[in-house]
């Protein structure tokens, strides 16, 4: 992992060294460092592994800015995808969404969110990640090409968003799944238990799309609602 970097990276004594050597997170982070920031060294504090891959790296960053030495602790997680489900009722034309309801222990709450998940390091097409997570968390099966690249349409020059930019490197790519279906199908998601992993505690809830802001209390889901509404107003999204 230290190769081709302009600064040394120090691992913790307990490793896991082999997984860290294969992990691209620090190299990816280094590629977008502002030229005005001089990195002196990176000390990896902890590295959490999920099977045969590193999921999170907590690191102390030593750097120079404005001729002063600084230290910041950050968490590297890589890229993720979030998909907004937009279902139009064919009987009434009402718009609904499906939110996942799951514990988030960082804030100590059970949160409403759009379905989302982290990219695997070997995944190149973000839509593959988004479609996989949509199936695992909601049970909607679709082809990657069926997903609308929401953040790319909304802001083509920067097709991702930093949700917690002060301490996390996570880049979130937003997608939209649109379909016109029966009211019976829409309501079939209400209260459904989902989640691919054994430790996932996900319950689905169906709500009117315009009521997302009444339930969601985190920036990514709220940003998705804003993007969808604005793109419809601009005529860049429409029902086929």
Confidence of residue 16 (pLDDT cuts 50, 70, 90): confident
Helix (H, G, I), strand (E, B) or coil at 1: coil
Pair 107, 38 in one domain: no
Pair 97, 63 in one domain: no
| In the predicted structure, residue 179 carries a pLDDT above the cut 90 | yes
| In the predicted structure, residue 140 carries a pLDDT above the cut 80 | yes
CATH number where 173 lies:
3.90.79.10
Q: What percent of the chain has a predicted confidence (pLDDT) above 70?
A: 95
Question: pLDDT tens for residues 182-214?
Answer: 999 999 999 999 865 655 688 999 999 999 999
Pair 65, 180 in one domain: no
- What tokens were used for 137? 């968390």
Tell me what pLDDT residue 234 has.
95
Range of the domain at 40: 9-76
Q: Is residue 238 part of a domain?
A: no
Pair 117, 217 in one domain: yes
- What tokens were used for 74? 């950050």
**Strand-strand pairing, 38-50 and 9-10:** parallel
Pair 102, 192 in one domain: yes
Pair 71, 84 in one domain: no
Residue 161 or residue 145, greater confidence? 145
- What tokens were used for 168? 């996390």
Helix (H, G, I), strand (E, B) or coil at 20: helix
Q: Is residue 4 part of a domain?
A: no
DSSP state of 168: B
Q: Is residue 107 part of a domain?
A: yes
Pair 222, 104 in one domain: yes
Confidence of residue 18 (pLDDT cuts 50, 70, 90): confident
Pair 35, 112 in one domain: no
- What tokens were used for 166? 């002060």
Residue 21 or residue 238, greater confidence? 238
Residues 83-98 have a mean pLDDT of 98
Of 18-27, 90-99, 224-233, minimum mean pLDDT range:
18-27
With beta carbons less than 8 A apart as the criterion, state whether 114 and 176 touch: no
Q: Is residue 71 part of a domain?
A: yes
Cβ-Cβ contacts under 8 Å for 79 (sequence gap 6 or more): 118, 119, 126, 160, 170, 171, 172, 173
Tell me what pLDDT residue 171 has.
86
Residue that finishes a domain, picked among 43, 76, 109: 76
Q: Identify the bridge partners of residue 119 per DSSP, sorted by sequence position.
A: none
CA dihedral sign of residues 232, 207, 109, 176:
negative
Q: Is residue 239 part of a domain?
A: no
| In the predicted structure, residue 102 carries a pLDDT above the cut 80 | yes
Which residue in this structure is represented by tokens 């996900």?
A: 202
Concatenate the DSSP letters of all residues of 112-158 into one string. EE--EEEPPTT---HHHHHHHHHHHHH-----GGGSB-HHHHH-TTS
The tally of domains found in the chain comes to: 2
Residues 101-130 have a mean pLDDT of 85
């Amino acid at each position: 992992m230290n190769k081709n970097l302009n600064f040394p990276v120090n691992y913790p004594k307990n490793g896991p060294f082999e997984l860290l050597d294969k992990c691209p997170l620090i190299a990816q982070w280094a590629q977008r460092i502002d030229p005005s920031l001089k990195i002196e060294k990176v000390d990896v504090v902890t590295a959490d592994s999920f099977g045969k891959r590193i999921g999170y790296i907590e690191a102390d960053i030593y750097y120079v800015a404005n001729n002063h030495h600084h230290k910041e602790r950050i968490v590297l997680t890589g890229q993720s995808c979030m998909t907004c489900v937009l279902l139009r009722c064919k009987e009434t034309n009402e718009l609904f969404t499906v939110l996942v309801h799951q514990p988030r222990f960082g804030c100590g709450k059970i949160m409403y969110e759009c379905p989302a998940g982290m990219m695997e390091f070997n995944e190149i097409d973000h839509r593959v990640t988004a479609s996989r997570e949509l199936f695992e968390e909601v049970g909607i099966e679709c082809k990657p090409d069926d997903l609308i690249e929401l953040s790319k349409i909304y802001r083509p020059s920067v097709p991702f968003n930093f949700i917690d930019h002060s301490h996390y490197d996570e880049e979130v790519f937003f997608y939209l799944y649109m379909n016109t279906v029966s009211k019976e199908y829409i309501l079939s998601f209400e209260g459904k238990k989902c989640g691919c992993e054994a430790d996932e505690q996900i319950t689905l809830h169906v709500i009117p799309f315009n009521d997302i802001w009444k339930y969601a209390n985190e920036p990514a889901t709220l940003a998705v609602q804003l993007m969808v509404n604005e793109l419809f107003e601009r005529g860049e999204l429409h029902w086929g």
